[in-house]
């Protein structure tokens, strides 16, 4: 019964026509026939050649012609088979999980009878602006797009809803564009503005508010699977908030979507890429990244690339490309080879395959904020000035040096001062040197010595490795003639190793300086031989930049718990803690008796008066610069080596089942990449937004439409392929897509158009007619009524209560969360922040991927483990519990209660004030009655239990006003708790 009814409804809604005329109407292949063939037939008769049965394919016109006779359905094998009496012969086969409904069969029959018109899948054909439908009564129409909507409504015998009230509209558009309701002042300004441009001005104000970028960023973060942790197993922390802030900024300056695309996908490949453009590429580093010690690198190198391709395909093209990872796509013309051709754009970045356990994995960069960039320039200038001042004093220095009797160099070590220096005479027998105080792997350090090996084939020169299997510490060794410098946090999962490319010779003395900038990554390590930087190879680069100190064990010369002993000598061994020696300094050490070294020694030890001050200033300026650089935020980015890594098709999608080698290339079903574009990520990004890609603009405008109407014009936001739900208003979708491109991918232009339309401005009330004829609002006969999502609900509560702290950007914060929620499931603890951190917008809440912020998770936000472009809509008791009882919501209720009590006027008027702050309207008489009586009831209840009243004021870290009667405030808090939970308040209307 239901099935019958539903297929009828489906048919009617697809045709968009009233009952009684269904059958005779011409069949639209793309909207009516392809979805049936795709869902029921393509799995065995579709693009996947390997799975094709009976050599029949129904996804191409030529293929399908084999199974049908034009105009003769009853003689067509396709029709014969689907109606076959013998269940063994009937299609789809018995064991197939889907059944063709009666009306689906009829559609196929009618289609063949009408001549079986074939068309390419609509989404793969470039959109064009169709002429606007002619409408007789045009008074309703405010914008061209309204024509399309009104035509559909009229065809279905429906009328649009009346326009929403100004107040309702102000709340709606404010929530939609900024994620916050209008303030009382903004609301008054709009309602009192009589000019015809009042609404337009409101939109302009919303676009100009930095809140706009913050709100728009939320959806992009969900699509881009942004989080503050890695998301696998231990789920260690990472630092990507500079990318998050880049997104906010991009929206706030209304960066055109084509630029937004190119910078995020390939900002690193732009000529003279700026720091900001590099930060933007963090988009494709936001995916989960596994750090398990036991993992196999090749497997996760593939997984990383897969995530990038799948996410990029979903967001820009609405293609479920991931389906072609293991085999040709079952529904869409995308072969497995083509999938790996896409992989080839994203798998070359210099990454190890294993994430580090704490911190950012390579490649990453220091990513100062704009303020920090200015400060950085200042600090560098200070160093430069100190050097210039010293150079200017050269004559003075020379004169002073003549009067200075240099002490013995070994007694007055070079580069002393703030450094800890461990010096010894020549060492040739293995021995323990003891713990070097302050020598910490994840802090700055340098080591220098003269080396004279007897045997260069093997041997530990210096080792502070721990004896256990994790081997934490430093190791300097020889291996097959080459010098290697290791920093080990956990063998073999956390190691950085550089090897000098040039081999050493036995019995030859060289001076070696090893430095680490505190990051313990290969890029932060240097080896100088005889004072000069030398070519090195990176053997390992998987170190964790742990927050805990890695001190290793005692330092030994010539021996290690894990490596054979060294045979030879070292001399003049020096350890520098908290300092990364420069090339200049390494040069001084290599020639410690040279003129430069003598001058340097003088400045450190012999200079007096003004010269001493100049020397000290130089050191102070350098230290300040280094200290500053060490504290800068970092962010993961995309990088591209000169030569791309080879890419192979993976049989069944398995990392170790290598198939044919493939080159970069775009799917054949789409327009070819223009010749002038480079065949790399940059070219791919430019191809996407070149203007003749049939999918990108459609998919993008559809996502914005979904944001404003609750569902996309194509309901399957993530899939525009053969399995997509057909667009409810195909011409409108195409019109918007073309218009978007014609206006330079201007997102605010697009949004302004939509929110200005009569369609958007309708009331959201639901009538009997709506329920009967447009229950799902596919025809857009009214505006959207939908529960707000967790982030908006929390932000709204903070905003109206006056608690919201509106500072922008910065590292993520930790608002309230029940105790031990992390500890019970993981090896991390959550420490609730304080003061401002508790009241920032939810956008800035620390997002631990495997244990998401609980109130957000309950209230339908995406989990950030994978690309999510279609929000969930659910209604559960846990949501009610959260909104009623969670600390932030109840604390906000108290502050709202304080606002209520501080108002002038009668009880009724004060209640109206709070009510209006949240709904933008005054309560009706009936509502007012309920609220007044509620307040009296709560006040009486608390009057009878003052202890309870006082207790209820202690929810949250903020302190309740002492000047307010606790009974009144407790009652006002409970009342505000009710108002914050009103359906109207928790709903976008």
Q: How far is the CB of 13 from another protein (least distance, A)?
A: 9
Q: How far is the CB of 713 from another protein (least distance, A)?
A: 15
- Residue carrying structure tokens 């299609």: 91
**CB-nearer residue toward another protein: 188 or 880:** 880
Secondary-structure breakdown of the chain: helix, strand, coil percentages, each rounded to the nearest 5: 45, 10, 45
- Which positions from 868 through 887 interact with another protein, judged by CB under 8 A? 872-882, 884-887
Q: Which of 173, 203, 493, 751 binds another protein (CB under 8 A)?
A: 493
Q: How far is the CB of 652 from another protein (least distance, A)?
A: 11
Q: How far is the CB of 921 from another protein (least distance, A)?
A: 10
**CB-nearer residue toward another protein: 267 or 897:** 897
> Phi-psi region for residue 626, left (φ > 0), alpha (ψ -120 to 50) or beta?
alpha
**CB-nearer residue toward another protein: 203 or 460:** 460
**829 interacts with another protein by CB under 8 A:** no
- Which positions from 705 through 734 interact with another protein, judged by CB under 8 A? 715-716, 718-719, 721-725
Contacts of 164 by beta carbon, 8 Å cutoff, 6+ apart:
172, 761, 762, 763, 764, 783, 989
Question: CA 840, CA 795: separation in Å to the nearest integer?
Answer: 8
Q: How far is the CB of 19 from another protein (least distance, A)?
A: 17
Question: CA 552, CA 436: separation in Å to the nearest integer?
Answer: 10
940-954 in b/e form (b: 16+ CB < 10 A) is eebeeeeeebeebbe
Number of residues lying near another protein (CB under 8 A):
123
- Which positions from 281 through 340 interact with another protein, judged by CB under 8 A? 288, 290, 292-297, 303, 320, 322-323, 330-332
Q: How far is the CB of 231 from another protein (least distance, A)?
A: 7
> What is the SS3 assignment for 468?
coil
Q: Which of 23, 406, 492, 503 binds another protein (CB under 8 A)?
A: 492
Binding mask 607-626 toward another protein (x if CB under 8 A, else -) reads --------------------
C-alpha distances out from residue 975 to 730, 793, 915, 965, 982, Å: 47, 17, 10, 15, 11
Contacts of 638 by beta carbon, 8 Å cutoff, 6+ apart:
266, 267, 268, 281, 282, 284, 285, 349, 363, 681
> What is the SS3 assignment for 641?
coil
Q: How far is the CB of 353 from another protein (least distance, A)?
A: 10
- Which positions from 643 through 682 interact with another protein, judged by CB under 8 A? 656
Q: Which stretch binds another protein (CB under 8 A): 70-78, 112-120, 696-704, 825-833?
A: 825-833
Binding mask 456-475 toward another protein (x if CB under 8 A, else -) reads -------------x------
Q: Which stretch binds another protein (CB under 8 A): 387-395, 425-433, 592-600, 952-960?
A: 952-960
**97 interacts with another protein by CB under 8 A:** yes
Question: CA 130, CA 128: separation in Å to the nearest integer?
Answer: 6
Cβ neighbours around 201 below 10 Å, total? 13
**978 interacts with another protein by CB under 8 A:** yes
Q: In what order do the strands lie in the sheet with 473-479?
A: 431-434, 555-557, 458-463, 473-479, 482-490, 494-500, 536-541
Q: How far is the CB of 330 from another protein (least distance, A)?
A: 8
- Which positions from 547 through 566 interact with another protein, judged by CB under 8 A? none
- Which positions from 212 through 231 interact with another protein, judged by CB under 8 A? 231
- What's the 3-state SS for 659-725? EEEECCCCCCCCCCCCCCCCCCHHHHHHHHCCCCCCCHHHHHHHHHHHHHHCCCCCCCCCCCCCCCC
- Which positions from 100 through 119 interact with another protein, judged by CB under 8 A? 101
Q: How far is the CB of 373 from another protein (least distance, A)?
A: 36
Query: What's the N-to-C CA distance of the chain in angstroms?
Result: 34
**770 interacts with another protein by CB under 8 A:** yes
**CB-nearer residue toward another protein: 504 or 918:** 918
**863 interacts with another protein by CB under 8 A:** yes
Question: CA 600, CA 414: separation in Å to the nearest integer?
Answer: 8
- Which positions from 6 through 35 interact with another protein, judged by CB under 8 A? 6-7, 9-10
- Asked if omega into 92 is within 30° of 0 (cis), the reply is yes
**CB-nearer residue toward another protein: 252 or 764:** 764
Q: Which stretch binds another protein (CB under 8 A): 61-69, 335-343, 361-369, 844-852?
A: 844-852
Q: How far is the CB of 142 from another protein (least distance, A)?
A: 23
Question: CA 79, CA 59: separation in Å to the nearest integer?
Answer: 16
**851 interacts with another protein by CB under 8 A:** yes
Question: CA 57, CA 928: separation in Å to the nearest integer?
Answer: 66
Question: CA 863, CA 226: separation in Å to the nearest integer?
Answer: 10
Q: How far is the CB of 406 from another protein (least distance, A)?
A: 52
8 Å CB contact between 438 and 420: yes
- Which positions from 402 through 421 interact with another protein, judged by CB under 8 A? none
- Which positions from 426 through 445 interact with another protein, judged by CB under 8 A? none
């Amino acid at each position: 019964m239901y099935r019958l009814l539903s297929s009828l409804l489906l048919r009617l809604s697809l045709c968009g026509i009233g009952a009684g005329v269904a059958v005779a109407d011409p069949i639209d292949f793309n909207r009516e026939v392809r979805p049936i063939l795709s869902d029921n037939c393509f799995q065995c008769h579709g693009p996947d050649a390997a799975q094709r049965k009976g050599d029949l394919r129904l996804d191409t016109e030529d293929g399908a012609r084999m199974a049908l006779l034009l105009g003769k359905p009853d003689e067509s094998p396709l029709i014969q088979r689907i109606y076959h009496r013998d269940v063994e012969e009937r299609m789809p086969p018995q064991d197939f999980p889907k059944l063709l409904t009666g009306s689906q069969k009829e559609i196929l029959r009618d289609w063949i009878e009408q001549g079986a018109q074939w068309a390419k899948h609509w989404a793969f054909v470039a959109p064009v602006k169709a002429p606007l439908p002619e409408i007789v009564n045009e008074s309703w129409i405010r914008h061209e797009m309204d024509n399309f909507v009104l035509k559909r409504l009229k065809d279905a015998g429906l009328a649009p809803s009346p326009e929403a009230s100004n107040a309702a509209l102000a709340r709606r558009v404010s929530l939609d564009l900024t994620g916050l309701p209008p303030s009382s002042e903004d609301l008054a300004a709009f309602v009192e503005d009589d000019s015809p441009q009042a609404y337009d001005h409101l939109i302009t104000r919303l676009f100009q508010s930095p809140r706009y970028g913050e709100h728009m960023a939320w959806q992009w973060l969900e699509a881009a699977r942004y989080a503050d942790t890695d998301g696998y197993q231990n789920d260690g922390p990472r630092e990507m908030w500079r990318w998050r802030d880049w997104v906010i900024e991009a929206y706030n300056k209304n960066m055109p979507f084509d630029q937004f695309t190119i910078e995020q996908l390939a900002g690193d490949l732009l000529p003279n890429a700026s720091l900001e453009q590099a930060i933007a590429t963090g988009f494709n580093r936001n995916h989960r990244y596994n750090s398990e010690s036991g993992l196999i690198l090749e497997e996760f190198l593939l997984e990383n690339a897969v995530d990038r391709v799948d996410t990029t395909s979903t967001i820009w093209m609405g293609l479920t490309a991931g389906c072609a990872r293991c085999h040709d796509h079952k529904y869409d013309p995308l072969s497995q080879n083509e999938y790996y051709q896409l992989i080839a754009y994203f798998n070359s970045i210099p990454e190890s395959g294993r994430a580090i356990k704490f911190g950012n994995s390579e490649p990453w960069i220091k990513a100062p904020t704009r303020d920090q960039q200015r400060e950085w320039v200042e600090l560098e200038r200070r160093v430069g000035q100190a050097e210039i001042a010293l150079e200017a004093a050269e004559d003075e220095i020379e004169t002073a040096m003549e009067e200075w009797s240099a002490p013995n160099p070994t007694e007055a070590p070079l580069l002393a001062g703030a450094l800890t220096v461990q010096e010894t005479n020549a060492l040739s027998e293995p021995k323990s040197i003891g713990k070097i105080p302050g020598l910490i792997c994840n802090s700055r350090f340098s080591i220098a010595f003269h080396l004279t090996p007897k045997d260069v084939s093997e041997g530990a020169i210096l080792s502070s490795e721990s004896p256990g299997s994790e081997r934490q510490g430093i190791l300097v060794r020889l291996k097959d003639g080459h010098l290697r410098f290791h920093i080990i946090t956990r063998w073999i999962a956390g190691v950085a190793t550089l090897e000098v490319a040039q081999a050493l010779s036995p019995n030859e003395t060289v001076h070696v300086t090893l430095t680490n900038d505190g990051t313990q990554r290969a890029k932060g390590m240097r080896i100088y031989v005889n004072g000069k930087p030398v070519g090195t190879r990176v053997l390992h680069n998987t170190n964790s930049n742990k927050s805990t100190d890695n001190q290793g064990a005692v330092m030994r010369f010539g021996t290690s718990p894990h490596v054979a002993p060294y045979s030879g000598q070292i001399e003049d061994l020096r350890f520098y803690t908290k300092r990364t020696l420069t090339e200049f300094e390494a040069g001084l050490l290599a020639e410690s008796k040279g003129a430069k070294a003598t001058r340097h020694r003088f400045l450190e030890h012999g200079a007096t008066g003004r010269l001493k001050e100049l020397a000290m200033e130089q050191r102070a300026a350098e230290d300040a610069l280094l200290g500053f650089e060490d504290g800068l935020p970092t962010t993961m980015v995309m990088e591209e080596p000169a030569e791309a890594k080879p890419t192979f098709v993976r049989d069944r999608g398995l990392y170790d089942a290598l198939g044919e080698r493939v080159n970069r290339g775009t799917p054949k079903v789409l327009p070819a990449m223009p010749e002038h574009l480079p065949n790399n990520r940059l070219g791919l990004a430019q191809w996407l937004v070149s203007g003749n890609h049939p999918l990108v603009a459609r998919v993008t405008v559809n996502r914005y439409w979904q944001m404003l109407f609750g569902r996309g014009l194509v309901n399957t936001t993530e899939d525009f392929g053969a399995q997509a739900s057909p667009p409810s208003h195909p011409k409108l979708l195409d019109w918007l897509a073309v218009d978007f491109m014609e206006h330079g991918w201007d997102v605010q232009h697009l949004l302004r158009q939509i929110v200005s339309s009569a369609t958007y401005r309708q009331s959201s009330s639901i009538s009997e007619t709506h329920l009967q004829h447009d229950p799902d609002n596919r025809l857009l006969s009214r505006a959207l009524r939908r529960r707000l999502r967790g982030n908006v609900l929390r932000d709204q509560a903070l905003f109206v209560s006056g608690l919201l702290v509106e500072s922008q950007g910065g590292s993520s914060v930790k608002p309230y969360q029940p105790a031990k929620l992390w500890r019970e499931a993981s090896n991390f603890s959550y420490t609730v922040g304080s003061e401002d951190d508790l009241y920032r917008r939810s956008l800035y809440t620390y997002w631990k991927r495997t244990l998401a912020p609980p109130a957000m998770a309950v209230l339908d936000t995406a989990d950030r483990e994978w690309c999510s472009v279609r929000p969930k809509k659910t209604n559960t008791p846990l949501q009610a519990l959260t909104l009623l009882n969670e600390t932030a919501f109840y604390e906000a209720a108290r502050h709202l209660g304080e606002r209520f009590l501080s108002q002038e006027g009668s009880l009724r008027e004060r209640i109206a004030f709070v009510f209006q702050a949240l709904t933008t309207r005054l309560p009706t008489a009936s509502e007012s009655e309920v609220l007044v009586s509620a307040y009296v009831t709560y006040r009486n209840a608390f009057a009878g239990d003052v202890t309870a009243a006082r207790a209820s004021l202690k929810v949250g870290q903020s302190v309740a006003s002492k000047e307010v009667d606790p009974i009144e405030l407790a009652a006002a808090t409970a009342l505000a708790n009710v108002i914050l939970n009103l359906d109207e308040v928790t709903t976008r209307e």
